[in-house]
């Protein structure tokens, strides 16, 4: 039996150059990465990392060929571990999926049982992938901030890269928890969209009127930053006493050069957020919260498109070229 997959290959050109590109092709179960649970994939998603991997514009994959897709939800087709039953609804995200292990942009996936999480109470399979790795990352950032003492009374939370998958989820989650949010986006056509998700204020970077001083007036309670670079420096410099800044992306650059002043004079904390290697006990806890207090009230609004697996190719370049917003999910059943 063969099935459809978005498989990424590396080939060598006549001049010795390496070319990374994806193909929609038929493959067999025997070709899949090792694992003791086989899942019939119902939904996956297109994350920024997936687009980088499929187009070769980012060094994401650790081996080739490999099916793309860093998250999926589906039903157990077979399991060598009695912990999971045939027909059970499950999900997987992170853990090297779509980076060094065949991912979710395929009709079937085979994974180690220790990666598999039952779909949480409060969510269905489609909802788990509207959230996907983007929603999981936003929730992980908020969780880390709360564990470190973040409360609404400390002031508004700045969310940069607000129109993307992480940003839209973060805004809706924070709104549900009672936080004021400042959505920062260079794509002003989505101001109304972000306001509907719960943003208290929507503005551009310029409208934040950030200082270039190493420490300035405290105006933010904290931040969830997708951008990195100088913007991250300047947000930290304006963060309130004992506020938390979660770093989750590098849309601008991986480099930034902060000073120690916000950390030693205001007790500001810079929190790293890594969804790929999040410990499994914490991963399960975050997914449980996503079905409960962190479930976005406007979850359906966050999904802005649903495409069939056979049509996923067009999404990659559109995402990288900032022609998409919110969350695009992939229906792996409708092929």
- Is residue 286 one of the residues assigned to a domain? no
- Is residue 290 one of the residues assigned to a domain? no
- Is residue 277 one of the residues assigned to a domain? no
Q: Select from 183, 163, 135, 159 the least CA-distant residue to 325.
A: 163
Query: What whole-number distance in Å separates Cα of residue 125 and Cα of residue 72?
Result: 9
> Do 263 and 314 reside in the same domain of the chain?
no
Say how many domains are in the chain.
Answer: 2
CATH label of the domain that carries residue 210? 3.40.50.720
> Do 199 and 69 reside in the same domain of the chain?
no
Domain endpoint, select from 230, 256, 272: 272
- First CA to last CA distance, the chain: 15
> Do 206 and 313 reside in the same domain of the chain?
no
> Do 11 and 46 reside in the same domain of the chain?
yes
Q: Tell me the per-residue pLDDT of 191-207, one tens digit each, with 9 for 90 and over.
A: 999 999 999 999 999 99
Q: Across 153-302, where does the E strand assignment appear?
A: 157-160, 181-184, 201-203, 220-225, 239-247, 269-272
> Do 96 and 167 reside in the same domain of the chain?
no
> Do 155 and 267 reside in the same domain of the chain?
yes
> Do 97 and 212 reside in the same domain of the chain?
no
Residue 51's H or E segment, with its range, is helix 48-55
The stretches in the chain having pLDDT less than 50 are none
Query: What whole-number distance in Å separates Cα of residue 127 and Cα of residue 299?
Result: 8
CATH label of the domain that carries residue 89? 3.90.180.10
> Do 257 and 305 reside in the same domain of the chain?
no
- Is residue 125 one of the residues assigned to a domain? no
The pLDDT score that the predictor gives to residue 335 is 66
> Do 11 and 81 reside in the same domain of the chain?
yes
Residue 307's H or E segment, with its range, is strand 303-308
- Is residue 315 one of the residues assigned to a domain? yes
Domain endpoint, select from 254, 272, 290: 272
The pLDDT score that the predictor gives to residue 306 is 97
Domain that includes residue 268, residue range: 134-272
> Do 26 and 104 reside in the same domain of the chain?
yes
Note the pTM of the prediction, 2 decimals: 0.95
Whose tokens are 């009374």? That residue is 153
- Is residue 280 one of the residues assigned to a domain? no
The pLDDT score that the predictor gives to residue 116 is 98
> Do 33 and 94 reside in the same domain of the chain?
yes
- Is residue 161 one of the residues assigned to a domain? yes
- Is residue 208 one of the residues assigned to a domain? yes
63 within 8 A of 103, measured Cβ to Cβ: no
> Do 249 and 323 reside in the same domain of the chain?
no
Beta strands 71-79 and 89-93 are antiparallel
Whose tokens are 């306001």? That residue is 195
Query: What whole-number distance in Å separates Cα of residue 94 and Cα of residue 107?
Result: 18
DSSP state of 162: T
The pLDDT score that the predictor gives to residue 322 is 87
């Amino acid at each position: 039996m063969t099935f459809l997959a978005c498989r990424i290959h590396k080939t060598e050109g006549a001049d010795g150059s390496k070319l990374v590109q994806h193909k929609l092709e038929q493959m067999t179960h025997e070709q899949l990465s090792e694992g003791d649970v086989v899942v019939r994939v119902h939904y996956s998603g297109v994350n920024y990392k997936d687009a980088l991997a499929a187009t070769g514009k980012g060094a994401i994959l650790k081996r080739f060929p490999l099916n793309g897709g860093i998250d999926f939800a589906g039903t157990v087709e077979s399991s060598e571990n009695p912990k999971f039953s045939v027909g059970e609804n499950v999900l997987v995200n992170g853990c090297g999926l779509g980076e060094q292990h065949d991912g979710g942009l395929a009709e079937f996936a085979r994974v180690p049982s220790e990666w598999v999480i039952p779909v949480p109470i409060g969510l269905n399979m489609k909802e788990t992938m509207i959230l996907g790795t983007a929603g999981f990352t936003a929730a992980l950032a908020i969780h880390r901030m709360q564990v470190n003492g973040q409360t609404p009374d400390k002031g508004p939370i700045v969310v940069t890269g607000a129109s993307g998958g992480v940003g839209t989820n973060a805004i809706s989650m924070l709104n549900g928890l009672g936080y004021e949010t400042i959505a920062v986006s260079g794509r002003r056509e989505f101001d109304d969209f972000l306001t509907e998700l719960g943003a208290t204020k929507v503005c551009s970077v310029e409208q934040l009127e950030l200082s270039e001083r190493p420490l300035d007036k405290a105006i933010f309670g904290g931040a969830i930053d997708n951008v990195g670079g100088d913007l991250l420096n300047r947000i930290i410099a304006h963060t309130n006493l004992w506020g938390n800044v979660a770093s989750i992306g590098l849309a601008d650059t991986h480099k930034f050069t902060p000073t120690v002043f916000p950390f030693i004079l205001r007790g500001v904390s810079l929190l790293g957020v890594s969804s790929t290697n999040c410990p499994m006990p914490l991963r399960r806890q975050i997914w449980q919260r996503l079905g409960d207090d962190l479930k976005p009230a406007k979850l359906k609004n966050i999904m802005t498109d649903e495409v069939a697996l056979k049509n996923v190719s067009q999404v990659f370049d559109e995402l990288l070229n900032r022609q998409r917003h919110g969350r695009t999910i992939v229906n792996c059943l409708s092929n």
